[in-house]
Structure 1
Amino acid sequence: MKTQLQQFWNDEDGATAIEYGLIAGLIAVAIIATLTAVGTDLKAMFGAVSTAIKKGTADGAAAGGE
């Protein structure tokens, strides 16, 4: 019994796979957090660009442009 417990305690098979899994999970959380924070800023920036384009095309059409 003591030998089996000692073998179980010293057995490191699968530990590397678990470590890689944890690292991959942490990287995924970091990517999601970054995209969430940056996504709001990108949405505002593209909204401003869209508004400027719409305003520019409306001004051009009103001035007789094509």
Structure 2
Amino acid sequence: MLQFIKSLSRDERGVSALEYAVLAGIIIVAVVAVGTVFSPALSSVFTTLTAKATAAM
């Protein structure tokens, strides 16, 4: 049993998958934060573009 635990502690096959999962989580949090901060500005830009496109038709 002790040999099995030692072999598991040296096994690094799942480490890269865990690193990618943590990195993806950080990126998602950053995108949500940026979206929350710039939401009012983006909303006004899209409202203006919609109004101009509707007026041009």
Asked if Structure 1 and Structure 2 have the same fold, meaning a TM-score greater than 0.5 normalized by the shorter chain, the answer is yes
Give deviations 1:12-63, integer Å, cap 9, x for gaps.
111101110110111011001101110112224555x47xx7xxx8xxxxxx
Percent sequence identity is 31
TM-score by length of 1: 0.61
Gaps of 5+ in 1: 58-66
Larger Rg: 1
TM-score by length of 2: 0.68
Count of matched residue pairs: 51
C-alpha distance in 1, partners of 2:42/2:2?
60
Q: Structure 2 counterpart of 1:25, which letter?
A: G
Per the alignment, residue 13 of structure 2 pairs with: 13
Higher relative contact order (CA 8 A, sep 6+): 1
Gaps of 5+ in 2: none
Aligned-residue CA RMSD (Å): 2.1
